[in-house]
Amino acid sequence: MTRRDSSPRAPVVIVASAHDAARIAGLHHAATRIVRGQLTLMPPGSIAALAVPVIGEGYAVPIANGTTLIGATYEVDDDDPAIRPPGHIENIERVGTMLPGFAAAADQAEPEGGWEGRVAFRCVTSDRIPMLGQLVDETIAFSQAQQLRGAWPRDLPRAPGLFGAFAYGSRGLVWSTLGAELIASQLEGEPWPIERELAEAMDPARYLLRVLRQRKAD
């Protein structure tokens, strides 16, 4: 009797799990790094409520119930999920450069148990450009390394149905819609929303391509 394979299957998979995406997709040439970001939540009444968000080097944003959200720290390769008091000080000082008197007011208003906040992690590439598009089958690519030394992105052996959308850095809100549209166009064979040169700059295979081009002949 043949045993049925019950593992989940799909004709298309888009890996969108930020810093874990390369591992999940089995990519060895798509390195990303994490950047820790700590936000500070200032409770109602602790500082004068803002009428509008203030954004520059940092930001202070009025959110629900009179709370003000300020941020954010930017700590490369730091995977500590704990809230750290120095992060709050950094956020307050940063906003203080935009709002005169803010830092002094915050100093006076700090709650007994310290400020509350939140920590999250950005995922970035070394060129700070997202990874968007169809992934390459690295095993096949290396088995054809000799022929691929002068390759262009379109020459690479792509993994059928496997796409990536990750490494949005600090700009996920802006980039993700465009990324989704680009991948949908690639899947459907429709005109792309951006020119090929820009899509190639975001191609998750760009780092692999560099390795193949620099590889010495065996």
Ligand X SMILES: Cc1cc2nc3c(=O)[nH]c(=O)nc-3n(C[C@H](O)[C@H](O)[C@H](O)COP(=O)(O)OP(=O)(O)OC[C@H]3O[C@@H](n4cnc5c(N)ncnc54)[C@H](O)[C@@H]3O)c2cc1C
Q: Which is nearer to ligand X, 29 or 36 (CB)?
A: 36
Part in contact with ligand X (CB under 6 A); list of ranges 91-99, 105-113, 120-128, 199-207: 120-128
Q: Which is nearer to ligand X, 72 or 148 (CB)?
A: 72
Q: Tell me, by CB under 6 A, how many residues bind ligand X.
A: 19
Dist CA 116 CA 42 (whole Å): 7
Part in contact with ligand X (CB under 6 A); list of ranges 95-103, 106-114, 172-180, 194-202: 172-180
Q: Residue 63: exposed, middle, or buried by beta-carbon count in 10 A (0-12, 13-18, 19+)?
A: exposed
In this structure, which long-range contacts are made by residues 80-89, counting pairs with CB atoms below 8 Å and at least 24 apart in sequence? Answer: 80/36, 80/119, 81/119, 82/119, 83/38, 83/116, 83/117, 83/118, 83/119, 84/38, 85/114, 85/115, 87/38, 87/40, 87/117, 87/119, 88/38, 88/40, 88/114, 88/115, 88/117
- Min dist CB 45 to ligand X, Å, is 24
- Min dist CB 165 to ligand X, Å, is 7
140 binds ligand X (CB under 6 A): no
128 binds ligand X (CB under 6 A): no
Alpha helical stretches, state H, 136-214: 138-143, 172-188, 196-201, 206-214
Q: Which is nearer to ligand X, 83 or 211 (CB)?
A: 83
- Min dist CB 189 to ligand X, Å, is 25
Part in contact with ligand X (CB under 6 A); list of ranges 105-113, 116-124, 134-142, 195-203: 116-124
Residues that bind ligand X in the complex, under the rule CB under 6 A: 16-18, 20, 24, 37, 39, 71-72, 120-122, 166, 168, 170-174
